[in-house]
Structure 1
Amino acid sequence: MSDQSQSLLQNTRRRLAALSDTPYLDAQVLLSHVLGRQRVWILAHPSPSLTPRQRENLAQALLRLESGVPLPYVIGRWEFYALDFTITPHVLIPRPETELLVEKALNWLRRHPARRSCADIGTGSGCIAITLAKHIPDAKILATDISFRALRVAQGNARKHDVEAQISFLGDNLLAGVTQRFDVVCANLPYVPTPALKTLKVYGREPTQALDGGPKGLTVIQSLMEMVPRNLAPGGLILLEIDSSHSLEAARLAQGAFPAAEVRLHADLAGHDRILAIQT
């Protein structure tokens, strides 16, 4: 490793140290974006000469990061479940916690090969629907979102991953205008309590509409619980991402909507309740 290239990577890391919990990783991701190379290439060949345009692009990207713009919005993409998604400020940045929801949906679908009708409510970037479609090629998925700007991003990602034939996109408030029944309903809805949201770094940096779950974080989830019984096929599964601060109350809402169902909470890697599963 040459001193020059080491300095480039290390200087970038130092610029990001005050902005990120993972500055070295973020520096690699940023440099791979600027250079148009895979991150593994940056690690193996960390001494490239930057063109004037690349130097300018790097400088502008660092300025945007230092102004508070999240890295995925700066580079316009982010990885989720080993797939690359286009990301804009109109959609929530995909997070590892949501991969747990996807994993549970995939496992259920693989155990039930005759059940292939799915819904992704509040699809955002489309990461849940598209990942399900990529891994279950005969799945048919409805993806809804109240934001038409988000739907355009999701539709673009579906084309990018060649699964647009499997997914229907609908601009709607949850399932308000939907009469179809589904075997699996997935939803990563706004679930952060409003008072807590205003204390988080994401506040004002990612779309508030995709984060704000109301005073207790359950406003949108409760609305879905009132709608979804008519849309779930017998023996179907609902998977909701939730905030650990209201997990028990969310479970009570679910049991009230589906008195005969098995309602379970699943923890994320940090040990916090993160996924609410309703098996009817």
Structure 2
Amino acid sequence: MADIRAALADAARRLAGVSDTARLDAELLMAHALGTTREELLLRRLGDDVPDGFATLVERRLAHEPVAYIVGERAFWTIRLMVGPGVLVPRADSETLIEAAVAHFADRPGPARVLDLGCGPGTLLLAALAEWPDASGLGIDSSTTALLYARANVDRLGLRDRVTLREGDWGEGLDERFDLILANPPYVGIRDTLGADVSEWEPGEALYAGTDGLDAYRAILPQIPHLMAEGGVAVLEIGSRQAEAVAAMAASAGLSPVLRHDLAGRPRAIVAT
């Protein structure tokens, strides 16, 4: 019987046709099948027998199902989030928003109140609350499925006394002001092409925003000045070709926008005060 080392090599070879991170995918799936961490797998388990169920996990990945859905969770910033079908998979690029928020509050008291517009499984909101233990927050999403995952993550992280979740349409109906406003809205144009991992699995309402991908910003940005506390900041994720258009919308709403790039040097967020 082949050991785990050989099975990983074979799985990575097969997955190379569907993933740019084939070896990592194989290792995460193997760790999940073993019920252990990737670190433990690589350090101590490579010579073990291949666990039952690993082959099935690989087949699911070959069908383009996201690894996060298969294993049921995804790491983001300093936390781990439960995810599954019906929610947007947290991505490392979105950590740029938390980095921008940390930079804004570096020389001033941290935010007392945080708002996450389109919170999904709680990605940005819960990462921010992990960063600022004295803060509390509100997460808004129009998806009941996303809110179910968000509530599960709130409980998993022990944040029930600091978080309120609400079904709604962006900031409509809110009469509170927030020190930090975060949003990763849909920003893909309906004619744009996405990889099968995304287009066939992740929820379209969290991805697409009209013909040009800007509809969500048209709804959100005029609301920001009425939701932002004095000295506060709003950080919105953007598509790499949308910086100029979104910055112009922010300025038209009376905000002062600054562009923030991700680690790959791509425009990733608008930071508005």
Alignment of 1:1-280 (within 5 A): 4-45=3-44, 46-50=46-50, 54-55=51-52, 57-113=53-109, 115-196=111-192, 198-201=193-196, 202-258=198-254, 261-279=255-273
TM-score, L = length of structure 1: 0.92
Q: Return the letter of the residue paired with 1:273.
A: P
Question: 1:192, 1:243 within 8 Å by CA — same for their partners in 2?
Answer: yes
| TM-superposed deviation, 1:221 | 1.0
Q: Return the letter of the residue paired with 1:6.
A: R
Question: Higher RCO, 1 or 2 (CA under 8 Å, sep at least 6)?
Answer: 2
Question: 1:134, 1:163 within 8 Å by CA — same for their partners in 2?
Answer: no
Q: Tell me: CA distance 1:114–1:58, structure 2 relative to 1, closer, same or farther (3 Å).
A: closer
Within 1, Cα distance between the matches of 2:28 and 2:107?
36
Within 2, Cα distance between the matches of 1:82 and 1:227?
30
SS at match of 1:44: helix
| TM-superposed deviation, 1:244 | 1.8
TM-score, L = length of structure 2: 0.94
Deviations 1:256-276 (A, max 9, x none): 001xx4311111122221100
Q: Return the letter of the residue paired with 1:154.
A: A
Q: Return the letter of the residue paired with 1:14.
A: R
Within 2, Cα distance between the matches of 1:74 and 1:38?
15
Question: Which stretches in structure 1 are left out of the alignment for 5+ residues?
Answer: none
Deviations 1:187-229 (A, max 9, x none): 0000112211x34432122111001021111101110112222
Question: Which stretches in structure 2 are left out of the alignment for 5+ residues?
Answer: none
Q: Tell me: CA distance 1:33–1:130, structure 2 relative to 1, closer, same or farther (3 Å).
A: same
Deviates more, 1:80-89 or 1:169-178: 80-89
Within 2, Cα distance between the matches of 1:35 and 1:213?
40
Q: Return the letter of the residue paired with 1:117.
A: R
Within 2, Cα distance between the matches of 1:27 and 1:221?
37
Q: Return the letter of the residue paired with 1:270.
A: A
Question: 1:225, 1:254 within 8 Å by CA — same for their partners in 2?
Answer: yes
Within 2, Cα distance between the matches of 1:17 and 1:247?
33
SS at match of 2:212: coil
Question: 1:117, 1:139 within 8 Å by CA — same for their partners in 2?
Answer: yes
